[in-house]
Amino acid sequence: MELLFRAMTQDDAEAVAAIEAKSFAVPWKRDDFWREAKNELASYIVGVLDGKIVAYAGAWVSFNQADVMSVAVDPEYRGQGLGTLLFGELIRVVKARGATAITLEVRPSNTAAIKLYESFGLRSVGRRRGYYIDNGEDALIMWNTRL
């Protein structure tokens, strides 16, 4: 089984939103992804295993900076290295668009995601207080400025 990556299209919005709903407290909806697929500033990718979308990630690229908007693996497929392949592919895509730095926000309680990002050289440089509206949790701000 090989995980294949391709750009997200508007036809993928439904499947992506289904994984999003299983992954986040305040999930984006189908229409949000439908819009993102057509956003010129955005680069979204999907990971396909045996014809099924099992992962997706996206970032906005502006000048040399990539802002990560989404990273998720279907819960049934986590812990097998797919997230690492996914984030590696996202970095490849944003670098191809000229990004030399990448940043994102993550919950301090999200150990798996923080470990994943650290393995790609991102480091926590600060906090946004009360960033997450569902429980008022802070966000860690992570950066890698040498992609």
Ligand X SMILES: CC(C)(COP(=O)(O)OP(=O)(O)OC[C@H]1O[C@@H](n2cnc3c(N)ncnc32)[C@H](O)[C@@H]1OP(=O)(O)O)[C@@H](O)C(=O)NCCC(=O)NCCS
Among residues 78, 100, 131, 145, which is the contact residue for ligand X, using CB under 6 A? 78
Residues 53 and 28: their CA atoms lie apart, in Å, by 17
Cβ contacts of 115 within 8 Å, gap of 6 or more: none
Segment (H or E) for 52: strand 52-62
Give min distance, CB of 86 to ligand X, in A.
7
Residue nearest to ligand X (CB): 83
- Compute how many residues bind ligand X; rule: CB under 6 A: 18
Residue 105 bears catalytic tag: yes
Residues 138 and 37: their CA atoms lie apart, in Å, by 29
One-letter amino acid at 76 equals: E
- Build a one-symbol-per-residue string for 37-76: x at contacts with ligand X by CB under 6 A, - elsewhere: ----------------------------------xxx---
Determine if 106 is a binding residue for ligand X (CB under 6 A).
Answer: yes
